Amino acid sequence: MAICWKCGTIIGDGAEFCPKCGPGSNGAGSSDERSVLIKKIDEYRLLLDEYEFISKTVEPQSKFQDEEEKPAPKKRSFFKYFWPFLVIAAIILYATGALLSVYVNVAHGRDVLTVLVAPLLATGFAVVVIVFGVKSAKRKQKELNSRAETLQSIQNEKNLIALANQKKIDRLAELEPKKSQLDSLVPEGYRDFDHVAKIEELIIEGKAATIDEAIAIIKAN
């Protein structure tokens, strides 16, 4: 069994010329030509499988540009939230010292209990303010830094998606020249994975000898 080099029709053993092309075909071609045709169609089918899948899932890269340009969320330092409490504690101590100074000058050193107890109370109150400030600043820092980490994680994920999308765009650009070259195998309107897979199946099963015959069978069904 052989294949006509001109139209691809399968020629029976012993035939001197192609039954489709006639005597002018110079006889049958090599049986390897059928294998070459099937190989090319299979190559085209596999290319279309990847090309169509990427085309359905790829998005315009401009959709991700805003995300890529966003600055990374900043983490906050502990001191940013603690310093106001230090100021308040310092003001308490300073005000207490100033009031005691005035009191001592006015009272001429009398009422020693007041002179001793007042600084202790002021110092104790300042310590309470500082302790409260430490706890409050740590809580605020943890809350905002946790939020920053979450935002950073989301942004990183979006950047990875953008990178994957760009790779798809680059891959489509790589496949385009090969697809354009193989498109000539199949008439327009049948250059998709489903049709090419069916054409390949018909030729492999021997139900069609050429691509045109396979398309005719597909049209008939």
**pLDDT tens digits for 112-138?**
556 667 677 778 888 888 898 899 988
Average pLDDT of the residues in 181-185: 90
Contact 61, 34 (CB under 8 A): no
Q: Quote the DSSP letter at residue 183.
A: G
Say which residue the tokens 């300073």 belong to: 94
More confident residue, 94 or 131: 131
14 CA to centre of own chain = 60
What pLDDT sits at residue 172? Answer: 94
What are the tens digits of pLDDT across the range 34-87?
788 888 999 999 999 999 999 999 998 888 776 555 666 677 888 888 888 889
* Amino acid letter for position 15: A
What pLDDT sits at residue 25? Answer: 43
Give the model's confidence band at 168: pLDDT under 50 very low, under 70 low, under 90 confident, else very high: very high
